[in-house]
Amino acid sequence: MRNEILFVDDDRIFNMLHTRLFERAGVEKSLLMSFKTGDECLTYLDRHSVGDTRFLILLDISMPVMDGWDFLERLQYRDYKENTLIVMVSSSVDGADKERSKKFDQVIDYIEKPLTSRYITRLISEEL
């Protein structure tokens, strides 16, 4: 099974930082993609979700156009949702956001920005 890691965050600095952290953890650069909006990511998934590819998406909540919650709602109507794991990566420390994320089967974790090397190492060993 091929695993791709997708970053969805309107902050390009976080996308670059998280990409570098995954590269340092040994993930091939060709398996890492970043998107500034949820729409861009869904378009990519609609076109590339064939075969046995599994997607790990690190999803921000607060974004213009389509926030993380809207992304999750739209994902529920896609055939590839079963091959998709989501980690909510947010600056929000609101307990209500953490609870809301648990309503989606694809969400495997909710963490506060930024990701750490230790977290990435654990995530890779457990999920990929």
- What's the number of CA atoms in the CB half-sphere (13 Å) around residue 114? 14
What size, in residues, is the chain? Answer: 128
Confidence of residue 10 (pLDDT cuts 50, 70, 90): very high
Give the tens place of pLDDT for each residue, 81-124.
Answer: 999 999 999 988 888 999 999 999 999 999 999 899 999 999 98
User: Tell me, what's the pLDDT at 2?
Assistant: 86
Write down the CATH superfamily of domain 3-127: Response regulator (3.40.50.2300)
Give the tens place of pLDDT for each residue, 41-66.
Answer: 999 999 998 778 999 999 999 998 89
Is 80 exceeded by the pLDDT of residue 128?
Answer: no
- Taking the C-alpha atoms of residue 52 and residue 89, their distance in angstroms, rounded to an integer, is 25
Domain limits of the chain? Answer: 3-127
